[in-house]
Amino acid sequence: LLCAVPAASQNDAPSDALADVQRAANGGPLHSASDAPSAPWTQQIELRAADPCVLLLNATGAHGCATRNDGTIAPLLPLFEQADIDTLVASAVPSKALMVAIEEELFTPKAVEDLETHLGDRLVGMAVLSHGPAEAASTATAKAAAAAVPESQPVPVAAAVASVRPDAGAAQRLLSMRRFKYGVVLLEGDEVEAARRLLRRRGAQAAPLLELKFPMSARGNASSCLSSRTCLPLGGHSVWGALQPRTAHATPPERSKPSVTLAASLDAASPFHEHAPGAVASVASVVAVLAAVAAVADDDGMLAQMHALSATPLFALFTAEAWGQAGSRRFVKDVVEFNCSDAPVAKPEAVDGGGDGSGGGDSGDGVDSSAGALRNTSGDLPQLPRCSSPAFDDIRFASLGGGAARSVLVVDSVGMRDAQLHVHTRAGDESNPVASALFAAASSSETTLSTETRLPNALSATVVASLPPGPATSFADSAAVAALSSTTQPHAPLAGSTFDTRATLDAGRVCVAATVAARAWWSLAGGTGAPSANCSLVEALLACMLDETLCGLAVQLGVRSSLASHYTSVYIPYATELTPTVAFVQRWLKLKLRQGCNASAACAPTVALHRAFSPAIALDEQTGTWSVLDASDDSVWAESYWPEGMHATLWPFQPSNLETALLFAFAVANAVAAAATVHVCRRGGRRSWSSFRIE
């Protein structure tokens, strides 16, 4: 009791922790002499994979979670079923602070409100217990599914997906907007299993203690924290480009030629930073765009038509769309309002051939910039145009001004199981050329896809007279726009939640959406032929962007971090860092489109980055300070800085009353003994005191 026990090291196996807590749960001794290697786990379990809800700020104030600066520790009370919540809120208010461990499917706005109303300031933390990406199911359904298979086998995916509540996505989207006055973390894997086993114990001092230390630096609202430099705008970088490569004779896009853009949202949202899979909300749409690009780029006959097209086929994947369409609105604003006050000057070629709109490269966190497959081979290409005021390292986007963006086709929330595709347009614009091209493309798609991916009635014949939030609404005032989606609603049912996983997707339907989009896009550009998506490529890209394990392709492209979460990042001026999601997509596009150069040294793929943050936020380039131009704009969002030393720790046992009394008595006795020693030493004179001094 009196000696500090070291924390578990990085090499301690989670199975040791589970073995220890299993013994404790069964009422046996915590560990014997033979269990010495795992002894540290019995004193504390460092929850290294705990994923915190973070503090976000908009114009009205703070949203999300944070603990006190010194953290909080309290007993952890299990809420495994709705009946546990009902019992707690019907009981007397506890006299001491506590935290609750709540199953992921019970983590809803109503449950949180009921707990906060009843417990008040006694509620000081919350741990959300995840079932993992393949088993986001209610307790009853999970038990029923597990009973049908051997215990060692996982619960079937279909059973797990079917059990997710239809309103789970909407519930977690609301929770993302809520202000919690305490810390909230998501636990998964071996750590959540250890917590569950500890929480199932019965008897005195059975409740474990949970310590949360996740203070956040920002205070007030987005405007005040940006001014005090304790936060950064939500965003990062969008990826855009053209099918036509840059050569010694042309730098697409050409100002004199209209463009047809195939677009999608690149990232996702969730209450938890590292658990934003966004399978339907964004990943399926991104994969559909990539597969559509590949369908044209892999066809030599279509590449041969490139110079004769009536419009330039562009692609764009926008960041921070879940936060007021910040990425696409920033892009549109920069295109429309860009005015370089100095003569455009040449910029030395970047390693990967093109930077963003503000000096960012593509190396940094989670990305290996030395990837051999992507080294520059641009030879004698003319250098990219840039502007020093305002500072842009690459102003190719300016060529899209003056009405050059003729048509925009947005792929939005495709691939849902058992769902038709729907065409969305603005009310009164149901027969615009983009919508017409989509219907024409869908009418031919079923006859050319393989039997495995041929879907009857792939596209609904009814147009939805409203645009989903995202790139479609951002371009609606400047181009003919239509969106392709698996839902008639503004959001997919599980969008914005931890439940929007790969298990919710039908890869065949993603492939159909990619084919429909590719054909409509190519037709709008004036091309002939019917490109078809490679369904094997679709499967591989979905696996790369949604599985926990880093895929071989990502490693080849120099991406070092997992692609399993696509949470929106922050925009850091002049930084060279990209999120793994942005880096993977940008590098994949460059690798795919490089084949259009036919090994020519004087040729480079047209793939660029563009800054992504709210168009209602401005950066003073001289001082590096931020300002909010329009506090009422719903894209004004910022994320707090994360201080050092944040952690979550689970303590399996609370000290008993006897232990507490003994510790207090020992402390008093120790203080009395120390005082007596000092008194005796002083009476012995200065020489005697010196003999006790530590040299």
Q: Which helix (H) or strand (E) holds 485?
A: strand 480-485
pTM for this entry: 0.82
| Same domain (yes/no): 237, 335 | yes
Q: Between the CA of residue 320 and those of 77, 109, 233, 328, 634, what are the distances in Å?
A: 36, 24, 10, 8, 12
- For residue 661, the model assigns a pLDDT of 54
pLDDT at 142 over 50: no
Q: What are phi and psi of 100, to 5 degrees?
A: -120, 145
| Same domain (yes/no): 568, 650 | no
Q: Which residue did the predictor score with more confidence, 287 or 151?
A: 287
252 within some domain: no
| Same domain (yes/no): 513, 406 | yes
| Same domain (yes/no): 408, 555 | yes
Reduced to 3 states (helix: H, G, I; strand: E, B; else coil), residue 58 is strand
**CATH code of the domain covering residue 334:** 3.40.630
Mean pLDDT of 541-568: 94
Q: Where does the pLDDT of residue 681 fall: very low under 50, low under 70, confident under 90, or very high at 90 and above?
A: very low
> Residue 260's beta-bridge partner residues?
313, 407
The 10s digit of each residue's pLDDT in 514-531 is 999 999 999 999 999 999
**CATH code of the domain covering residue 165:** 3.50.30
DSSP per-residue letters across 97-158: -EEEEEEGGG--HHHHHHHHHHHGGGEEEEEEE---TT----HHHHHHHHHTS-TTSPPPHH
| Same domain (yes/no): 394, 529 | yes
pLDDT at 653 over 80: no
| Tally of residues, the chain | 695
- For residue 132, the model assigns a pLDDT of 65
pLDDT at 192 over 50: yes
> Are 584 and 371 within 8 A, CB to CB?
no
> Residue 77's beta-bridge partner residues?
100
The 10s digit of each residue's pLDDT in 559-572 is 999 899 999 999 99
300 within some domain: yes
284 within some domain: yes
Sign of the alpha-carbon dihedral angle for 82, 416, 489, 580: positive
Mean pLDDT of 237-248: 95
Reduced to 3 states (helix: H, G, I; strand: E, B; else coil), residue 380 is coil
- For residue 17, the model assigns a pLDDT of 38
Q: Which residue did the predictor score with more confidence, 676 or 339?
A: 339
| Same domain (yes/no): 140, 27 | no
% pLDDT > 90, the chain = 61
Q: Which domain holds residue 35?
A: 12-43
pLDDT at 685 over 90: no
378 within some domain: no
The 10s digit of each residue's pLDDT in 102-118 is 999 999 999 999 999 99
The 10s digit of each residue's pLDDT in 262-301 is 999 999 999 999 999 999 999 999 999 999 999 999 999 9
- For residue 671, the model assigns a pLDDT of 59
| Same domain (yes/no): 183, 323 | no
pLDDT at 354 over 60: no
Question: Residue 433 CB: number of other CB atoms within 10 A?
Answer: 15
**Which ranges constitute the DSSP H helices of 200-282?**
222-228
Chain centre to alpha carbon of residue 468: 20
How many H-runs (helices) and E-runs (strands) does the chain carry? 20, 25
82 within some domain: yes
Sign of the alpha-carbon dihedral angle for 26, 27, 33, 39: positive
The candidate with the shortest Cα–Cα distance to 62, out of 217, 203, 169, 214, is: 217
- For residue 4, the model assigns a pLDDT of 32
523 within some domain: yes
Q: Between the CA of residue 387 and those of 346, 384, 416, what are the distances in Å?
A: 9, 10, 43
> Are 636 and 58 within 8 A, CB to CB?
yes
| Same domain (yes/no): 281, 204 | no
- For residue 160, the model assigns a pLDDT of 39
The 10s digit of each residue's pLDDT in 24-80 is 333 333 222 233 233 334 578 999 999 999 999 999 999 999 999 999 999 999 999
Largest CA distance in the chain: 104
Q: What is the dihedral of CA 496, 501, 506, 507, to 10 degrees?
A: 110
Q: Where does the pLDDT of residue 360 fall: very low under 50, low under 70, confident under 90, or very high at 90 and above?
A: very low
| Same domain (yes/no): 569, 609 | yes
Q: Where does the pLDDT of residue 253 fall: very low under 50, low under 70, confident under 90, or very high at 90 and above?
A: very high
Q: Which residue did the predictor score with more confidence, 17 or 357?
A: 357
7 within some domain: no
The 10s digit of each residue's pLDDT in 212-233 is 999 999 999 999 999 999 999 9
% pLDDT > 70, the chain = 75
Task: List b or e across 362-382, with b for residues whose CB sees 16 or more CB atoms inside 10 angstroms.
Answer: bbbebbbbebeebeeebeebe
Q: Report the range of poorest mean pLDDT among 91-95, 128-132, 509-513, 623-627.
A: 128-132
Q: What are phi and psi of 159, to 5 degrees?
A: -65, -40
254 within some domain: no
Residue listed under structure tokens 């709210």: 614
Question: Rounded CA gap, 176 and 354, in Å?
Answer: 35
The candidate with the shortest Cα–Cα distance to 356, out of 265, 238, 250, 246, is: 238
| Same domain (yes/no): 281, 151 | no
| Same domain (yes/no): 268, 315 | yes
Quote the number of domains for the chain. Answer: 4
| Same domain (yes/no): 26, 153 | no
Q: Report the range of poorest mean pLDDT among 259-273, 461-475, 590-604.
A: 590-604
